[in-house]
Amino acid sequence: MIFDPCVLIPIYNHKDTIRATVGRLVLHGLPVFIVDDGSDEATQQVLVTLAIEYPLITLSRLSQNGGKGAAVMCGLRAARAAGFSHALQIDADGQHDTSDVPRFLEQGMAHPAAVICGRPVYDASVPKGRLYGRYITHFWVWVETLSLSIGDSMCGFRLYPLDTACALIDEVRIPTRMDFDTAIAVRLAWRGVKFENIATRVTYPANGLSHFNMWRDNVRITWTHTRLTSGMVLRLPLLLWRKFIASSNAGAHWSNLAERGSGLGLRFIFFCYRALGENVARLLLYPIVAYFLLTGSSSRAASLDYLRRINAYGVTQNVVGQTTPGWRGSFYHMLSFAQSGLDKLVAWMGGFDSRRVDFPNQGEFERLLASGRGAVLIGSHLGNLEMTRALATNEHRAIVNAVVYTNHAHRFNAMLARANASFGVNLIQISHIGPGTAISLKEKIDRGELVVIVGDRTPPSEGGGGRRVSQIEFLGKPAPFAQGPFILASLLECSVYLFFCLREGDYYRIYFEPFAERIILPRDQRQERLQDYLRQYARRLEAHCLKAPYQWFNFYDFWRQDAANNPTKASV
């Protein structure tokens, strides 16, 4: 497909902001289609002047106000008739950051058949009512599409592939008012169109002109969601079939896949927590988790497999009745994950009572901090490691550096930063552990900082080759464990501790366990010593999993025998 984009601006009476918006857009050298949606005479005069001043502008006018959707559809058809392949829709009121235009175009070139959709990052200027209302729409869009692929269905900053968009609007009646952006996005998703989302800054200018009518437009949006939900039910077999086909593709390592539970769902809960309180947010977890259980086939399958394994292994260890294998148990497993995520948010916002945390070995931790020596803390996806970090950094007692393999945690940590401006975790994103990583972390250790890394994830493929893993007995069957955390600890030449934080009733209990004063890997015994360290770690993880089986949040096929060299499927 030839990539030949243009810009599309629908406008209605924004005479005071359109000049500045156009001035910033023409810097990118793209043709600009402006569709006047029946504006007043003053706005018409401004637009005529701009069209004369900037030859890149093509100006169209609707004889009467038909709504934003009517203007956008008119512009889409005009751009396609002029031979363009894509149209970048942007609002006329100056809310959108035009410096992100190159990012939209770059993604459009990489994914020419997809809709490139803006996902707003708001500042303090956003009206709270509008903000919280969007998250209700987000939830219904997830239901209507059986997907989280649309990051924000109401954002008016998006790049359309014109052939696809025009085919839809020519065949289907799309609402023409404020519900247009959501309706066209959902219907495109129903046709199998992919969405790529770009985080983009959105500002509400002081004294800005908004045409959103709180009562009238919310009624329209509610009616649109009613129709779309009915349409989803009619299309349910097709949508489920698509999800089945997509989930049958096991070609991606876990690090390349989105962590569904810590993405949009938790952001929705975050805003509900801020607006409605903790009790309401916790109640909302139940329908959201039910949705993930029904639609997350790979996560559900991994959860069911894990619960069966730990139930069978528990019998051999005289630990009986800890889990309920089956869909009910998987629901509790996913609910535990969601509750853990909410607890992280509450902790970072200072709302979690530290008296509800039991820290039996706190003296050891205090001595480590008092010594001024850095250390490596090896954790896992068991329990709530992030809440432990929150308690440490909220009291300014430690500088914590979290090493992660993917960018998924970056999005979640950005949300935590919005929850608490003093968020104190340095997130170090890596593709593999190499000499550069070791040198950088050694400097932090020498300054007395802490380095946290998890030991229950296999790393992404390094340079297309294999991964440094060892097959270690775990819950009765060999599983691949990453060597990287232990090799890194040996290079950093510091003390190593294991760190777990488990919810036990209404309390959290922190397990801070000395692991090794130094990890030493002699050249002639390197692999044997690595195996010993990995076995020790696996045994401790195994013991804590038996103690809190619903709190191990590795929602992918952890035991795959080809995981060392082949991709592994994951969803959480």
DSSP for 231-268, written as a single string: HHHHTHHHHHHHHHHHHT---S-GGGS--GGGTHHHHH
| Strand blocks (E) in 123-180 | 158-161
Which residue reads 């959108």 in tokens? Answer: 96
Question: What are the structure tokens assigned to 359, written together?
Answer: 């820290």
**For position 462, what pLDDT does the model report?**
45
Model pTM score: 0.57
* Closest residue by Cα to residue 267 from 414, 368, 396: 414
For residues 78 and 162, give the distance between their C-alpha atoms in angstroms, rounded to a whole number. 10
**For position 151, what pLDDT does the model report?**
87
* Closest residue by Cα to residue 506 from 284, 329, 282: 282
Segments making up each domain of the chain, as ranges:
5-241, 352-551
For residues 119 and 117, give the distance between their C-alpha atoms in angstroms, rounded to a whole number. 6
The alpha carbon of residue 417 and the mean position of all alpha carbons in its chain are separated, in whole angstroms, by 14
For 123-132, 181-190, 197-206, 529-538, which range has the lowest pLDDT when averaged over its residues? 123-132
Packed helices 180-190 and 162-171: angle between N→C axes, nearest 10 degrees: 100
Share of the chain above pLDDT 90, in %: 40
**8 A C-beta contact, residue 176 and residue 67:** yes
Identify the burial level of 235 via C-beta atoms within 10 angstroms of its C-beta, where 0-12 means exposed, 13-18 middle and 19 or more buried: middle
Q: Measure the CA angle with vertex 41, ends 38 and 42; round to 5°.
A: 120
Q: Look at residue 437 and tell me whether its pLDDT is greater than 70.
A: yes
Q: In what order do the strands lie in the sheet with 495-504?
A: 357-358, 507-516, 495-504, 375-379, 450-454, 400-404, 425-429
**8 A C-beta contact, residue 96 and residue 200:** yes
Indicate the pLDDT class of residue 121, thresholds 50, 70 and 90: confident
* Closest residue by Cα to residue 12 from 221, 211, 218: 211
Q: How far is CA 418 from CA 124, 492, 541, in A?
A: 11, 32, 32
**For position 253, what pLDDT does the model report?**
45
**8 A C-beta contact, residue 33 and residue 8:** yes
* Closest residue by Cα to residue 225 from 340, 144, 129: 144
| CATH domain 5-241 topology | Spore Coat Polysaccharide Biosynthesis Protein SpsA; Chain A (3.90.550)
Rg (CA), the chain: 26
CB atoms within 10 A of CB 572: 23
Tell me which amino acid residue 535 is: R
Tell me which amino acid residue 29 is: G
For residues 567 and 572, give the distance between their C-alpha atoms in angstroms, rounded to a whole number. 15
Mean pLDDT estimate for the chain: 81
CB atoms within 10 A of CB 17: 17
Average pLDDT, stretch 483-503? 92
pLDDT tens-digit series, residues 69-110 = 999 999 999 999 999 999 999 998 888 999 999 999 999 999
| Strand blocks (E) in 406-468 | 425-429, 450-454
* Closest residue by Cα to residue 376 from 440, 430, 454: 454
Tell me which amino acid residue 87 is: A
- Secondary structure of residue 421 in the 3-state scheme: coil
Q: Look at residue 247 and tell me whether its pLDDT is greater than 60.
A: no
Average pLDDT, stretch 337-350? 76
CA 370, 373, 374, 380: dihedral to nearest 10 degrees?
-60
Indicate the pLDDT class of residue 257, thresholds 50, 70 and 90: very low
Indicate the pLDDT class of residue 318, thresholds 50, 70 and 90: confident
**For position 472, what pLDDT does the model report?**
94
**For position 217, what pLDDT does the model report?**
64
Question: What are the structure tokens assigned to 99, written together?
Answer: 């410096």
CB atoms within 10 A of CB 111: 15
Indicate the pLDDT class of residue 61, thresholds 50, 70 and 90: very high
**For position 497, what pLDDT does the model report?**
96
Average pLDDT, stretch 468-489? 91
**For position 421, what pLDDT does the model report?**
47
Indicate the pLDDT class of residue 178, thresholds 50, 70 and 90: confident
Assign residue 476 a region (left: φ > 0; alpha: ψ between -120 and 50; beta: otherwise): left
Q: How close are the terminal C-alpha atoms of the chain, in Å?
A: 34
Contacting residues for 15 by C-beta, under 8 A, at least 6 apart: 39, 40, 42, 43, 46
Contacting residues for 122 by C-beta, under 8 A, at least 6 apart: 131, 202, 203
- Secondary structure of residue 530 in the 3-state scheme: helix
Average pLDDT, stretch 499-527? 91
Contacting residues for 120 by C-beta, under 8 A, at least 6 apart: 152, 155, 199, 200, 201, 202
